[in-house]
Structure 1
Amino acid sequence: MNLKPIAITALSSFSPLGNQPEAIWAEYLKPTTLIAEKTIGKQKVNVAALSETLLEEVKVLRLSDHKYKALDNSVLYAMLASREAVKQAGWNENDVFGINIGSSRGATELFENYHQEFITTGRASTLASPTTTMGNISSWIAHDLKARGPEISHSITCSTALHALLNGVAWLRSGMADKFLVGGSEASLTPFTLAQMQALKIYSSEVSEFPCRAFDREKTKNTMVLGEGAGMLCMENGTTEKALGYIQGVGYATDILEHGISISTDAVCFQQSMKMALENVSLDQVDAVVMHAPGTVKGDSSEIQAIEKVFGTNLPMLTTNKWKIGHTFGSSGILSVELAVMMLQHQQFVPVPFAEKQTERTSIRKVLVNAVGFGGNAVSVLIGLS
């Protein structure tokens, strides 16, 4: 698919890395993880949690409007990141823009609390339904921003945020919109969510400097760790001086599943999505790939094999951010895009500290970002500076 560039005019996030670009980049340059042991429910477990400073911002937002008191953190994280993104882009109430914000799990904490209340009392609270539907994320963001364009919410597991980006690209290319806000939000650090990941036997029990060994080719056991947060991207048609980068290609594919939760051994879906995103682009122009790399043995190895099949022996530099901030489910794709854009802007590669050393290139011209989730829903996005 040959696509003309679409400008990324703003990029905002709310995650364990922080919520200000300078601080986020400074954190990426540190060869240390933000994953630490924390008590969730009745157990201590490795997670990448938001800082107390960011949690205070969430609390202030919740108390700022009586309508916000009943909202799940997934909505509030998205609200904070969206406000900042729109501010950076210079959009205002006179601008008509679309919104597509997704989540893998949605209002997880609220749903668990409401269900427990129902089990205990036999009754459901009045707001149980409207505050736990997936569509309430984009709807509340539109309300908060006083937006007048189309609103879309969806869940396509861990590739949700990049599917939101795909939807935004489609709207812009169709001429039905000139501006789109896309992203993902996840507030998944709850006892039931963690129990589900542990039941799959993919969660990290590592007691080491790096509990999540994402992109470690030598690991022999699964080391996925959960994080949380939100990431938002403002996209506009055409070229502009305020562009942080440009979307130069997109690709997507779905695997024929061999197992209910995993992709094929050499990630055929990733091979197809990467080839689509790289159509009419010389492979030697791609200097880096931000991998999905969830920290599981099969997940990491299959993606690496797919990259090797697409690029051959001339591999780009490979990295991921999950060793540092864990897997943020539906928001992970946009947080990977953020890393890609920052590496382009600063012309500096951010390696995985415990991975085998790679030959770094003298410049970073284009970065490919991958995401995939349960069901084999792969997305690849190519980003460049012009």
Structure 2
Amino acid sequence: MKKPISITGIYSISPLGESLHESWSSYQNDNHCFSEKGKVLVAKLPEATKDALERLRQSDSKYKGLDDTTLFAIYTSRKAILHAQWKSTDNYGINIGSSRGATQLFEEHHEAFLKTGKAKPLTSPNSTLGNISSWVAHDLQTKGPEISHSITCSSALHAMLNGIAWIQSGMCNKFLVGGSEAPLTNFTIAQMQALKIYNKNKSSKYPCKALDFDKKQNSMILGEGASVACLENNSEKALANIIGVGYATEILEHNASLSTNADCFQRSMKMALGAVKPEEIDVIVTHTPGTLKGDLAEFNAIKKMFCNKIPLLTTNKWKIGHTLGASGMLNIEMAILMLKHQQFISMPYLDNTPTKHIKKVLVNAVGFGGNAVSILLSK
């Protein structure tokens, strides 16, 4: 990187709650956030957050027809810029990614079309992916560039890469970046089940065994949420500084799998470290979604990269599930919390020796198609 980029504000809604304070509090216990939806487990937003989102929906007649993914993004973006003390006159850019986009709304409109043979008014644009950032820009009354994209489960970290590129190019001074996902629909869950990666063991004390290499079956569970961060040039009010970025794409062996040693992660982590020595990394927040092959492939890549000096490894998916396109930014939040509190966030079913000092944290994300991103954060 040419120079560090500062994260000056971040706000998330997830099964952990909302805000850094609530998320940190939730990380202090060993309880997962899963509950039943029909015959499967999912991780839902808390009722208090749902109530706040409904108030947002009812606050403007134009918002009543929006998908939850868009509402999540509007809500978290409002809170994030307050955290960073930005104003609409700052003329910042917006890039919010999503793996699925307007999932629920699209499914509802398609079902209505099959029944009537007609599409309802505003089916498009309200169900398009680009609708997310454009509505956030409308709500915040900013006039900077607005971008939405889907790079599957690495969408949020690709948004961060894009925001960094805009700032370092001099085309923008600030960028609002993140991911939003509302995937808890029957059809989306069915798609994950069709891939045979969804959890089937609801009775387990910890149903999603992310990073547990002794598990005998896939254990991924879907969660919903959004997370948005404010990026600026090197700032004294930084929550954390981005000191390295890496990205890579590998040749597909299968539509939904990584290579055995996750070649894309090896390259993205190496690029993110740059001149930083591997032994300087204290913690890696892994992508590890709780699948047999996905978890092991990322670990193999870490072993190749770090050899006998593997940093502490952690993930939040055992607790909140896989939030798809939002997951990478929720990993960033987790890293910021560890840097702030100087406390490692562990998993209750794995033994980890906490490190005394946490100075550098590497965050990973990858999506279907082998689109890996690694972000290196420091205090």
Same fold (TM over 0.5): yes
> Is the 1:3–1:249 contact (alpha carbons within 8 Å) kept by the matching residues of 2?
no
Asked whether 1:102 is paired with 2:107, we answer no
Task: Name segments (4+ residues, structure 1) moved above 6 Å.
Answer: none
TM-superposed CA distance for 1:35, in Å, is: 1.3
Question: 1:8 corresponds to which residue?
Answer: 7
Distance 1:359 1:116 in 2: 51
Q: Which residue of 2 aligns with 1:273?
A: 268
Q: Which residue, 355, 363, 367 being the options, matches 1:361?
A: 355
Deviations 1:259-291 (A, max 9, x none): 111010010000000000001001121100000
Distance 1:3 1:33 in 2: 40
1:370 aligns with 2:364: yes
Q: What's the offset of the Cα at 1:358?
A: 2.3
**Secondary structure, in 3 states, of the residue corresponding to 1:100?**
strand
Cross-structure match for 1:222:
218
Give the AA of the match of 1:137.
I
Counterparts of residues 226-375 of structure 1 (less than 5 Å): 226-240=222-236, 242-355=237-350, 357-375=351-369
SS of corresponding position for 1:251 = strand
Contact 2:343-2:354 at 8 Å conserved across structures: no
Q: Are 1:75 and 2:70 counterparts?
A: yes
Cα distance between partner residues in 1 of 2:251 and 2:128: 29
**Alignment map for 1:150-161 (pairs within 5 Å):** 150-161=145-156
Q: Tell me which amino acid in the other structure corresponds to 1:211.
A: P
Counterpart among 149, 162, 170 of residue 167 in structure 1: 162
Alignment of 1:15-54 (within 5 A): 15-39=14-38, 44-54=39-49
Residue equivalent to 2:207? 211
Matched residues in 2 for 1:231 and 1:312: separation?
A: 32
Structure 1 residue aligned with 2:88: 93
What is the letter of the counterpart of residue 360 of structure 2? K
Question: CA RMSD of the aligned region, Å?
Answer: 0.8
CA-to-partner distance for each residue in 1:160-192, whole Å, 9 max, x for gaps?
000000000100110001100000000000000
Fraction of identical pairs, as percent: 57
Letter in 1 for 2:358: I
* 1:20 shift after superposition: 2.3
Q: What do the CA deviations read for 1:67-115 (whole angstroms, capped 9, x no partner)?
A: 0000000000111100000001101122110000011000000000000
**Is the 1:273–1:380 contact (alpha carbons within 8 Å) kept by the matching residues of 2?**
yes
Q: By how many angstroms is 1:338 displaced?
A: 0.1
Aligned residues: 378
Amino acid paired to 1:61? L
- TM (normalized to structure 2)? 0.99
- Comparing 181-190 with 16-25, greater Cα deviation is found at 16-25
Between 226-235 and 17-26, report the one with greater CA deviation. 17-26
Q: TM-score, normalised by structure 1?
A: 0.97
Aligned residue identity for 2:232: E
Q: How far did residue 38 of structure 1 move?
A: 2.3
Which string of whole-angstrom CA distances, capped at 9 and with x for unpartnered residues, describes residues 273-321 of structure 1? 0000001001121100000000000000000010011001111000000
Give the secondary structure class of the aligned counterpart of 1:248: strand
CA contact (8 A) 1:7 1:245 kept: yes
Is the counterpart of residue 380 in structure 1 residue 379 in structure 2? no
